[in-house]
Amino acid sequence: MTTTPGTTTADATASASHQDERAETAERVWRNMRTLVLERNERRKETADALGMSFFRVKALRRIVTAPARLSELADRLSSDRPYLTLVVDDLAKRGLVERHPDPTDRRGKIVRATSEGRAAAARAEAILGTPPPALTRLSAADLAELDRIAAILATE
């Protein structure tokens, strides 16, 4: 094993072992977070069921409420292809949740905007999605504060 000047093989081995341990811990934490968010608390399914549409449609509606956009911009924001997004927006429009309006900067384009019904549906979705899982509410105040601190760091990366 090649070492840098001033370090021993034992130091390098200990450092590599520490990095392996951190990687294993990070994988375990990520697995636990996925389990908590995606498996144990089915907020996406709960939201989709409450609104009577797929979660992707809910996600699209929430993005439209936040920032009305052209279909191409919306497709980029949702990492979706435009033909599929056209079907999604058509469905949202049939439900009375969004409307297409002429783009004031380009007559050929349309801006998709939420209706008042769409904003209300998005607010219902946010209320469901914003409800913390029971496991979080059982944590101590100190543990919640520490988790909040760490989550804030992760959210800004």
Beta strands in the chain (DSSP E): 69-70, 98-103, 106-114
Asked if 29 and 38 touch (Cβ cutoff 8 Å), the reply is: no
- Once rounded to an integer, what is the mean pLDDT over residues 105-115? 92
Q: In which domain, by residue range, is 55 found?
A: 45-127
Place of tokens 């989550």: 151
Residue 140 located in a structural domain: yes
DSSP string, 72-107: HHHHHHTT--HHHHHHHHHHHHHTTSEEEEEETTEE
- Once rounded to an integer, what is the mean pLDDT over residues 96-117? 94
Q: How many domains does the chain have?
A: 2
The predicted model scores a pTM of: 0.75
Shared-domain flag, residues 27 and 68: no
Shared-domain flag, residues 52 and 119: yes
* CB-facing half-sphere around the CA of 55: CA atoms within 13 A: 10
Closest CA to 119 of 44, 46, 68, 53: 68
- Once rounded to an integer, what is the mean pLDDT over residues 85-99? 98
Angstrom distance (rounded) from CA 95 to CA 102:
20
| Residue 110: CATH number of its domain | 1.10.10.10
Residue 5 located in a structural domain: no
Tokens of 34: 């996925």
- Once rounded to an integer, what is the mean pLDDT over residues 112-121? 98
Query: What local confidence, expressed as pLDDT, does residue 106 receive?
Result: 86
Shared-domain flag, residues 101 and 74: yes
User: What distances in angstroms separate CA 60 from CA 37, 108, 118, one per listed residue?
Assistant: 20, 22, 11
